[in-house]
Structure formats: C-alpha cells, structure tokens
Structure 1
Amino acid sequence: MDKAHTSLFPPALAHGAIEEVFKDVFFVSGAMETVLMDLDWQFSRNMTIVRDGDRLILINSVRLSDPALNALDQLGTVTDVIRLGALHGRDDEFYVDRYNAQYWVMPGMDADPSLKAKGLSDDNLPISGASLFQFETSNLPEGVIRLDREGGILIACDALQNWLQPDEHFCDASRERMEGMGFFTPANVGPVWMQAAEPEAADFVRLKQIPFKHALCGHGEPLRDSAHEAYSATFNRLFNC
C-alpha cells in the first residue's frame, strides 16, 4: 500500500507493543485523539486480536505503525474486522482496505456501504468457539464476544471497561476530567457509554448469567481470573441486579 493511499485514512497514533495475553489472543493499547463537548481529548483504547487457525480477527481496531503492522503480519493473515461499539470504528476502514478483510458490525450500526459490512449475530460470527451477547435495552448498538477459551474470555468495547489509572496515552487535561467523571474504576461500566446508551438492568442480569473468568475491554487493562465476580459486583452496585 503506497503512502498516498494510506493518507486517505486517519494516521497511526502512539501505541504499545502487541502482547499475547492468552494463547492465540493478543492485545495492544494505543492513543485516541478526539473532540467531545468542544474539548480536545486524548486517552487510551485497546485492540484485541484473535487468532483462529491461520486467520486473524481484529476487534476494536487500532491502527498500528508500519513496524507493528509487520509484526501483526507475522502472527497470521488478517481476514476479519469486528466493530462491537457504536462509539468506536476510527481505524476499521484502514484495515478492511489494507487486507481486503470482511467487515462485521452490530445490528443497527451505520457503516459505509462500500465496506460491505455483515451483521453480527450469535450464529453468524467469524470466530470458532465464540458467542455474541447483544445489549437489547441500549440506545446505542453494542455487543460483547465470549471466547470459549481459558474458562471464558469476554471481549468488550465501551460497555465494560477496566481503567485502573491513567497511562502514557492520556493528556493531562483528559486525565483530570476523567478522574472527576469516575473513569478510573476497576471492572467498570463505561461512564460516557452509560450516559449515551441508557442501558437498563435487564441486560446486565443476562450478562451475569454468562460464565467467564477474564475480560479484555476497549479501554483499560486486561482483567484476569476474577472478571465475573468483579463485574457482577459492579452490576449490583449500579443496577441493583
């Protein structure tokens, strides 16, 4: 892909290395820059990469630098890009174009017709041994994928977060604002997503019924081993369920 072509897409921002957090499941954290409420924001976001045989499935995409793309290509062949959250998607088109990948979105999401997106459903997922949870009461389309590996791994976007503290991808102003908004709370439901999506308790009652041990979210650190207990406590605190 030539430089003139890549310039059609938002540029790569600062990010860390690709880390294998579980066998054939990889995680990379990078920066996001945006304008919200007429204010500049800079904070971190995460991409999860699932390897299924020789195929790579990108979830919550984060555009990587050229050296990191070379490292990604060493892991397998990118065949699919999944958008789980309505508030994400900045870098999806870059990956769909670069790899001629199939694009998948939650029902109700707007997508450029040229991307030829397919709708995700529990019986239509491009990952073997996986299932899809869909929020039914939310004002915004949002889903969570469960991998039937390691006792159950949830891959979430904005609904579930696990920001413990600001990292190197935050600017000072965003850190201060987000501290006041309660973002840095373990096993949290995303504060801005909560405000915009207005989900009801019934969704979280259903989510608690799913067995899982770990969570990889669009924001924050991987939560290992105790994810179900930690999120159940959060759902009880926020929704009395």
Structure 2
Amino acid sequence: MEVAPAPAPRSPTADRSSPKVARRRDELADAALTTLADLGYARTSLREIAANTDFSHGVLHYYFDDRLDLITHAVRRYNAVCVHRYDHVLAGAATAEQLLEGFSDALASTARAEAAQHRLWYDVRSQAMVEPALRADVLEIDATLSAMVWAVVARYAELSGTSPALGPDAVYACVDGAFQLGLLRHLCGDADAVDDLVTAVRALVPRLVSPAGPHLPAQPGR
C-alpha cells in the first residue's frame, strides 16, 4: 500500500499577510540590524547572523526567504525611522535659519550615533548596481529618503521666500553626497568630519534655492 507523502511545510511567504508573522519579521530584523551593520553585505549570511544573535538559523530561515530578504527588510525598517527623524525640525522651525540649523544638527547626530547603520545602507545601495534582486527595494528606499530631503529644502525655500533651483533628484543627490562623504571621513577616523558636514550642509542648502528659480513640484516625481 502506498503511503501518501507528508504535506510540505507551509511557506512563510504565504503567511506574510498575518499580523503575527509581520510583527515577528519586524522584531527579528530590528534585532539583527546591529549584526548586519557590523558585518556588512558581503559577509552576511543567515548562519552568520544566527551565530551573532540569539536566533537560530532555522528561525531566521522560516521568517525570511534568504539573506537578501532579511537585509532589505532590516534596512527598510531602519530607513522608515530615518525619514521621520526630521519631522520635528520641519514642524518647529519658524525661520529658514532655524530649519537649516536643526536639519544640519540632526544629520550630524545620526552620523555620529548610527554610522554603522548608515554604512550598511550605502553598502546595500552599492550592491544593487550588480545585484538585480536588490534594485527594486533600493530604489523604493531611496525614493523615501529623497522625499524627506526635498521636504526640508522645499520648506527652507518657503521660509526664505525663494524657490528650489533644482529638481528633487538633484537636490537629494547634493545633500546625500555631502552626507556620504562626511560619513566616510568619520568612519576613517577623521575627527573633523562631522563638524565639516554641518558646515557643508549649511553652505549647500542656500545654494539649492534661488529668488528667481523655476517653480518646481512640491513632491519628488518618480
């Protein structure tokens, strides 16, 4: 008599709509973020993460398809916090000068306190150039960061009675480039890197607006 094969275990992907599974994925990704940031993209595997956390390889493999799934989920979670980090600056600034001071100080604070997490983001974004599986996630994350920077610069323009002189993508490229360079110098041990970042951003943002600048959309277009 033939014995019917045992049913295959349910795929965790099929359960992703479950709030309980979604919460568990968030918890695991948040808890693994420090290890991911320390190891970087190239040295990260589910087994390596399991060896450096309190989670078994089986648990990680159940909730995540592979290391890319875990890495992108963790980076998404971190950047979801980042994009709201400047909300209080936007809400509390009564003048363009206050906004610029608050924004640049907040950038400096996160560069100092969360350098490893930012390094992971730039690592993953660079890998997306050669890893097709990362591209959609990276572009989506980048779009949220671009929208955050654009909101700051557009508000600065409003408070200063000017208009943005560049489009959203160019504005983001300028500010992000300054931040990435400052972060790299900071990671290399340059004691002046973060202070120089503040100086650079405070000089850069006023150059991104113009009294005679073109009228540009209030939100990035992707």
Q: TM-score, normalised by structure 1?
A: 0.28
Greater relative contact order structure (CA < 8 Å, 6+ sep): 2
Higher fraction of strand:
1
Larger Rg: 2
Greater helix percent: which structure? 2
